[in-house]
């Protein structure tokens, strides 16, 4: 059993080796990388990403990232390709083949078949003198010094290099396409991530009551309105529904602390006059930013200058926007 110190040293050593591999990949970015990006951008087909073993797993991740950032892609396992899956490749598709050595039996069988079909073949490969590197039209260089595995066997550093270069390729394509938050939202409608990208302030405000009161209202009326709507606040508005202020539970406590008699107090006497607000068509995640920055629990929602509704911190928590 390793000591605590040696366990920590092992982890640090692995991370340092893999970090060095990524930096080495960065130094190998050349004109081939630019040509790959340009070919994909101007291509009429999809990107087919293939590999075997651990490289196949990285290929699947690349495909997932491509698809979610605007580059249509399909994963094809190199072993299955030579048993029928080659049929998925269409005339205009571009093929990216991942391999650490570039010399595995499956890659040697697959590569000539890809060349025969006439598709652009991109080799993401760690050995530049390999069969794949020699056959590929363009090369994405993932060469590295050694695996993090102490036996230099288990793919670790090599797959980290592939993963990082795949991300670099996806982000370059994203930026070249001016792929923005709205585009991203179309492909990520589910879960908390999706909600951060499409849920608007108005969506949350509409699910709540719309507590409001006029500035001349009595403290009793204020308390009734706050209690009735269970949002911990009431908004003070004029006859045109323009916001004049807000009264929160905290304002009520401060009023009681600072006044011996409240009989003659009105809503306008105790309201906060500079309430924080957000426009109704803003993303809900931006509402959370405002709430956090100002250490508040309620946020007004406006349509231009008119009172639209109110959001409570609990609304955002319930939607998983944290």
Which residues belong to the annotated binding site for Zn(2+)?
77
Q: Which residue is listed with tokens 């092992």?
A: 10
Measured distance CA(64)–CA(86) in Å, rounded: 20
List, in sequence order, every beta strand (DSSP E) within 105-262: 120-125, 138-141, 212-213, 233-237, 243-248
From residue 192, alpha-carbon distances to 66, 185, 293, 296 in Å are 20, 11, 21, 22
State how far the Cα of 179 lies from the Cα of 229, in Å rounded to an integer. 41
- Mapped onto helix, strand or coil, the DSSP state of residue 226 is helix
Give the C-alpha separation, 313 to 23, whole Å.
42
Q: How far is CA 170 from CA 178, 235, 293, 301, 322, in A?
A: 12, 47, 33, 37, 27
Question: In 3D, which of 50, 170, 70, 57 has the Cα closest to residue 111?
Answer: 50
Do residues 127 and 101 make contact, with C-beta atoms less than 8 angstroms apart? Answer: yes
Element of type H or E holding 180:
none
Distance separating alpha carbons of residues 299 and 305, to the nearest angstrom: 14
* Alpha-carbon span 178 to 191, nearest angstrom: 24
Per DSSP, the three-state class of 243 is: strand
Token couple for 49: 């990403």
Detail the residues annotated as belonging to a binding site.
77
Q: Which residues pair with 311 in a beta bridge?
A: 299
């Amino acid at each position: 059993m390793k000591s605590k110190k040696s366990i920590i040293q092992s982890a640090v050593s692995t991370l340092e080796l893999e970090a060095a591999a990524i930096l080495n990949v960065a130094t190998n970015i050349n004109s081939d990388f630019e040509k790959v990006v340009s070919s994909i951008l101007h291509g009429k087909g999809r990107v087919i990403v293939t590999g075997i073993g651990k490289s196949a797993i990285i290929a699947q991740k690349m495909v997932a990232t491509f698809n979610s950032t605007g580059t249509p892609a399909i994963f094809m396992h190199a072993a299955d390709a030579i048993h029928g899956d080659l049929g998925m490749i269409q005339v205009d598709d571009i093929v990216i083949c991942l391999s650490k050595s570039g010399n595995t039996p499956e890659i040697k069988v697959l590569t000539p078949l890809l060349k025969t079909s006439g598709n652009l073949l991109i080799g993401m490969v760690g050995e530049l003198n390999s069969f794949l590197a020699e056959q590929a039209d363009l090369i994405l260089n993932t060469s590295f010094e050694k695996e993090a595995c102490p036996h230099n066997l288990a793919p670790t550093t090599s797959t980290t290099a592939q993963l990082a270069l795949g991300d670099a390729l996806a982000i370059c394509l994203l930026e070249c396409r001016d792929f923005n938050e709205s585009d991203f939202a179309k492909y990520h409608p589910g879960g908390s991530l999706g909600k951060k990208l499409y849920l608007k302030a108005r969506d949350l405000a509409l699910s709540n009551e719309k507590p409001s009161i006029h500035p001349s209202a009595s403290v009793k009326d204020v308390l009734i309105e706050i209690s009735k709507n269970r949002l911990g606040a009431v908004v003070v508005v004029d006859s045109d529904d323009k916001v004049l202020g807000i009264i929160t539970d905290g304002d009520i406590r401060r009023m009681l602390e600072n006044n011996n008699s409240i009989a003659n107090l009105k809503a306008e006497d105790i309201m906060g006059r500079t309430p924080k607000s957000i426009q109704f068509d803003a993303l809900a995640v931006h509402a959370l930013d405002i709430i956090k920055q100002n250490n508040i629990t309620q946020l007004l929602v406006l349509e231009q200058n008119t009172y639209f509704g109110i959001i409570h911190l609990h609304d955002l928590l319930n939607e998983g926007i944290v």
